[in-house]
A and B are shown apart, each in its own frame.
Chain A
Amino acid sequence: MVQKLQYLKETPSQTAGPFVHIGLAPGDAGFDIYRTELGRDIAGPEAQGTPITVTGQVIDGNGTPVTDVLIEVWQANAAGVFAGAGEVEPGFRGWGRVIPDFDSGVFRFETVKPGAVAGPDGRMMAPHITFWLVARGINVGLGTRMYFGDEAAANASDPVLGLIPEPPRRQTLIATAEGNRYHFDVRLQGDAETVFFDI
């Protein structure tokens, strides 16, 4: 016998289910209860940088939009600083909750384009927004990243995109750009399945 290591086990995840909005976005469930709902304003009124709009869909293995998904996004400000880890503009949280239209599954959010952030080895990571997806049928929240299609040079040297062994799969993390509007679909299965991370 040996001494016991006194670590605890992480609480197992369970699906957020189809009614996640009641808890995390009650206005979308259809009722008004809190003074303020959290995550409705990602960048705040004083954010510096380029305002952007992101749209997209989360698509299941049958090609059907996942209309009950709830996405949380997390990003640095335009200077590449995360709220809580350095000085950011007043009101900049860099975190938000994104809920698609319940009929079409199309989501849309507004924020500012994040700046590049240093990776653990000091190499710069291309601008990106972290996504975390929960829904009915998703047993453990899915983590991925959205990169920007108009940052080809930065994307090409991004250390995280570079970890993806199959170059075509890197494209699954890159939003198409049209001016300050970006489109990013997340595919849960299929030929163009999005790369999800085990972090």
Chain B
Amino acid sequence: MQEKERGSTLAAPTASAQLRTLPGGTETRISIEGVDFYYGRFQALNDIDLKIQDKRITALIGPSGCGKSTLLRILNRMYDLVPGSRAEGRVMFEGENILTARNLLELRQNIGMVFQKPSLFPMSIRDNVGFALRLHGWKKSRVAEAVERSLKDANLWEEVKDRLDAPGVSLSGGQQQRLSIARCLAVQPKVILMDEPASALDPISTLKIEDLMARLVNDYTIVIVTHNMQQASRVADYTAFMLMNPENRAGELVEFAPTVELFQRPRDRRTEDYITGRFG
């Protein structure tokens, strides 16, 4: 497998099957420390420790029900929407514990999220991208600039620049997903969470999203949940393998390592079983 040095934006890496080498000493962006999570009485996550590296792609993989999506939704407190859910432990981001953060709006501007389904708002392409900015009361001209920048960053500008006033839902599935990424980029988050961003897309659209991720990671920290191991091995610098504990059905972190290591020399037997297809 070809390995390639990352760091120069000029040599924009294509996502295809390249594992980036990992220069040592990168910063931790989000530090997950001893996190337990409960839906009512049911414990969904047990004692998760994970350090998300700055400007790297971290993939969370594992079979259904292992809690990888739950873990992702802890990072921007989306679980607050579920009545009766609570998290314990610490998730440190910029010197603050996310789990006790007061200002959720600021948190969610810093930590953006892209969902499995694009769920575009019932408005134009332009207004979808500018949605959050208009809420913040930005002037029209500034919003217009940010919309263009975000669409360019999301590799969508060329395809939609002539029909920005068309409804967002008039786009194809892959375009819609890139639009939802642009919508997320518009608020200039520091971290982007992606929950199965390509699982509903065809292979070509999927590749486009993966290319986009490889480019975005120059400026953003990305955490992606995926059930597709090939995708994790293609795009992620680090991979965390999670599994449901058969006794109490709580999700646990089995192994966390640079992607190359995890896929080529898994240390845990369960990881090996999973990535070689002997499980799930």
Answer yes or no: do A and B interact. Answer: no
Residues in B lying within 8 Å of A, measured CB to CB: none
Residues in A lying within 8 Å of B, measured CB to CB: none
